[in-house]
Structure 1
Amino acid sequence: MVTGNSHLSMKTITLCAMETRKTGKIDRLETKNPGILQKLMAMGILPGMPITLLRKSPSYLFEVDQTRYAVDREIANHIYVSC
């Protein structure tokens, strides 16, 4: 698990639970699969980064640091966002 700074006044949810067009900050990446964690980190998806969910279907399309990414539900469930 990789964590960032969390704020008590914000709620933390998975990327899957976010509403589209909402922005938050990546709170943590939580998975027991080192391959998924390594993939997300290599893509630049790191705690503390702002994230905007653009679309949920057919894949989770989101933007981090002016780059758009598409991942499936399994991967999106490992990205926790404070919003």
Structure 2
Amino acid sequence: MQKESNNTVHIPTLQQIEREVFFANSVSEVSHDLDRGLVCFMNSIDADDLENRMSFLTSYWAIKRTLAVIQLKQNPEQCDDITCSFLL
């Protein structure tokens, strides 16, 4: 996810997420990068800017869910409880 100049959030497409996973060769690596990005991004948004915070969190959960689906397809035996919880 990228923060654009007007504080809107660019949500990557499924193909972009799959491409990131392909090049990283690991769903968990992309997931950890996303988690680190969450902290940085949330710290950069004003606490009163609830609209952008909610937009970002909605995007974050959608991407985490997509990563869980990719993980389940690639290596179902490695889909731990935390990853699979995003599918609920």
TM bucket normalised to smaller:
under 0.3
Q: Judging by fraction of residues, say which structure has more helix.
A: 2
Q: Judging by fraction of residues, say which structure has more strand.
A: 1
Q: Which has the larger radius of gyration?
A: 2
Give the TM-score of the pair, scaled to structure 1. Answer: 0.25
Structure with larger RCO (C-alpha < 8 A, sep 6+): 1
Give the TM-score of the pair, scaled to structure 2. Answer: 0.25
